[in-house]
Amino acid sequence: MFSAAFRNVIKRRITGGASTITMQLAGNLFLDRSDRSVRRKMQEILLALQIERRYTKRRFSRCYANQVYLAHGNYGFAAASQFYFGKPVTDLKLQEAALLAGMVNGPKFSPLSNPEAALNRRNLVLRRMEEKARSLRWKSGNEKVAARLAHPISAQ
């Protein structure tokens, strides 16, 4: 967040934001996200602090998962799961869930409009999951994350 603020000061304009997930949720729910002013950013920070004080991480995470934009008019993982794979989010395979998780960074990772970027991003998510699993010395039984990297994207 500080590096983004530093870049904005150097360029004397807002060139990019740095928002935590809580700040994104606060901005999406209560503020005009097209307003890129310092005043709006301060409001977003204050709202994010209130959200973090009032709600549990679990409740907040559920709210974020239900409203995050995942391209092509889909808000939330449930809607995106139906749109891209034609099934409920609870029925997703690991590589499908990783694809959706990779799309949180923006619609530029949509498998429909940019399949190569979506595949690369999905693979990055899977690699990070594998690294995390290794760091926790966790084994996923028959489903090794690395084996999922070879699977192509199959969105509807």
Q: Is 127 exposed, middle or buried (0-12, 13-18, 19+ CB in 10 A)?
A: middle
**Looking at the whole model, is its pTM more than 0.85?**
no
Render pLDDT for 96-115 as a digit per residue (tens, 0 to 9): 999 999 999 899 999 999 99
Cα angle, residue 142 at apex, residues 137 and 144 outer, rounded to 5°: 55
Mean pLDDT within 76-97: 97
Side chain identity, residue 152: P
> Per the structure block, which two tokens stand in for 58?
């679990």
The mean pLDDT of the chain is: 84
- Residue 7: which pLDDT band, with cuts at 50, 70 and 90? low
pLDDT at 69 over 90: yes
Average the pLDDT over each of 19-28, 39-48, 65-74, 88-97 and give the range with the smallest value.
19-28
pLDDT at 9 over 60: no
pLDDT at residue 68, rounded to an integer:
93
- Backbone φ and ψ for 69, nearest 5 degrees, come out as -85, 125
- Residue 17: which pLDDT band, with cuts at 50, 70 and 90? low
pLDDT at 151 over 90: no
- Backbone φ and ψ for 15, nearest 5 degrees, come out as -100, -20
User: Which H or E run includes 84?
Assistant: helix 77-85
In 22-155, the DSSP E strands lie at none
